Amino acid sequence: MKTILIVDDQQLVLLSLEKCLNDFGYRVVTSNNVFDAISKYDQHNPDLVIVDINMPVLPTSDSSTLPLGVNEKASGLEIIKYIKTIKQHETPVMILSGNTDEDVIEKGFSLGAQDYMKKPLSLNEIGLRVKRLIGASNIRYNADKNRYIQNKVVGIVIPCYNEASRLSSDEFKTFVTKNLGYHLCFVNDGSKDNTLELLYDLKKNYEGRISVYDCPKNGGKAEAVRLGMLHLAKEYQFDYIGFLDADLSTNLDDFNELVETIYNSDFKVVSGSRIPRMGAEITKESSRAIISKTVNYIIRKTLGMNFKDTQCGAKIMTKEIIEKTFQKKFLTKWLFDVEIFMRMKKVYGKENAEKFICEKPLNRWIHMDGSKLSFKDSFKIIGQIGQIAFYYR
């Protein structure tokens, strides 16, 4: 059985490639940093090496046994250098990366790489390229052409409180099966029904793609989201982290568009906006329309920034924002989105904060059963806005 060494600092990528190539009949060895990869290369003498270029040294990396001539701040290119220049081996090397810098790509080929694969690409294509370089495996298997290694790795926090009757498990499973760059972290916020049991059942067979963070006591949505975001931010692999309502009022396809927006821009936060979708509904209830518009007006005045919909439960952001705005508990249980923007305003200044935040209209948004705030809740929100205005003055 032929052996393949895969080197990538993102665990989701390693899981996907390992499963794919095992199914194709290859033996797979994985590594998440340059120094460990060099050690495993010498130990296993693989028939092929697949390496990511954009791979900074991890805090746990050990350079004590690093051969002379290899940069101790090594990227994936140093693995190619080690194999081709230092060891002078003919072992084929495939580069798998989202890096589009032609100079870096040219450097990889000049060092001796045989192939370059740009993310995103399907698992089936990867299998065909591997077969071309080192021959067929013992098992013939056609991977799903619709399953892709993406060019970013994203964590999504999904707060859950008594969601057992509304949680659409099949939708979440289908999403992570098809979108290999996503990890879903369900945060159980002290549910009193069987939500926690349902979440652990959902996690089965999706280790690495679905996780459960359990808060034994109900602390409110704000605290559930905050703890979940900080939990995921500890993991090196995520390029972006966001949150989404468990009832999928905003669906996963729309969330993916928020991710594409932040990936292809300099924004630090991309927030879904329901405003284009809310008009038809709120006109049916004039009193609710008046309250909604009033609350939105007060929030805009409190923020001093003209955002149409701060309260949409779908947002994606850089880890920098989490590090700078999620460390302390939020003052309110419902208006933590407003507090995030207030904290950004304090950290970056109003002008920069406005440049860093993007509101993206949603293609679809619906009120799920039980998700509407009551009129009483609406008046509580106005009181909480007052708290925020006073606290962040």
Is 140 within the bounds of a domain?
no
Is 102 within the bounds of a domain?
yes
Is 257 within the bounds of a domain?
no
The answer to whether residues 181 and 60 belong to one domain is no
Write down which residue in 79, 106, 134 finishes a domain. 134
In the chain, the number of structural domains is 3
Statement: residue 65 has pLDDT above 60: no
pLDDT for res 31: 93
Statement: residue 244 has pLDDT above 90: yes
Statement: residue 1 has pLDDT above 80: yes
What is the distance between the alpha carbons of residues 198 and 368, in angstroms, rounded to a whole number?
A: 19
User: Average pLDDT in the 9-21 region?
Assistant: 90
362 close to 277: Cβ distance less than 8 angstroms: yes
Q: What is the pLDDT of residues 246-264, one digit of tens each?
A: 988 888 999 999 999 999 9
The answer to whether residues 235 and 344 belong to one domain is no
The answer to whether residues 52 and 128 belong to one domain is yes
Is 148 within the bounds of a domain?
no
Is 201 within the bounds of a domain?
yes
Q: What is the pLDDT of residues 362-389, one digit of tens each?
A: 887 665 555 455 556 666 788 888 889 8
Q: What is the pLDDT of residues 33-61, one digit of tens each?
A: 888 999 999 999 999 999 998 765 554 44
The domain in which residue 195 lies consists of 153-248
pTM: 0.85
Q: What is the pLDDT of residues 77-130, one digit of tens each?
A: 889 999 999 999 999 999 988 776 788 788 889 999 999 988 888 888 898 899
User: Average pLDDT in the 10-32 region?
Assistant: 91
Statement: residue 282 has pLDDT above 50: no
Point out the least confidently predicted range of 128-132, 193-197, 333-337, 381-385: 381-385
Q: What is the dihedral of CA 112, 114, 116, 121, to 10 degrees?
A: -150
The answer to whether residues 196 and 274 belong to one domain is no
| Confidence category of residue 324, pLDDT binned at 50, 70, 90 | very high
| CATH at 217 | 3.90.550.10
Q: Look at strands 148-149 and 240-244 and give their pairing.
A: unpaired
For 277, the 3-state DSSP assignment is: helix
**Residue 148: in which H helix or E strand, if any?**
strand 148-149
The answer to whether residues 199 and 274 belong to one domain is no
Q: How many CB atoms lie within 10 A of CB 355?
A: 13
The answer to whether residues 283 and 162 belong to one domain is no
The answer to whether residues 111 and 193 belong to one domain is no
* Paired residues of 93 in beta bridges: 49
Q: What is the pLDDT of residues 132-152, one digit of tens each?
A: 999 876 655 555 567 888 888
pLDDT for res 284: 47
pLDDT for res 380: 78
The answer to whether residues 192 and 296 belong to one domain is no
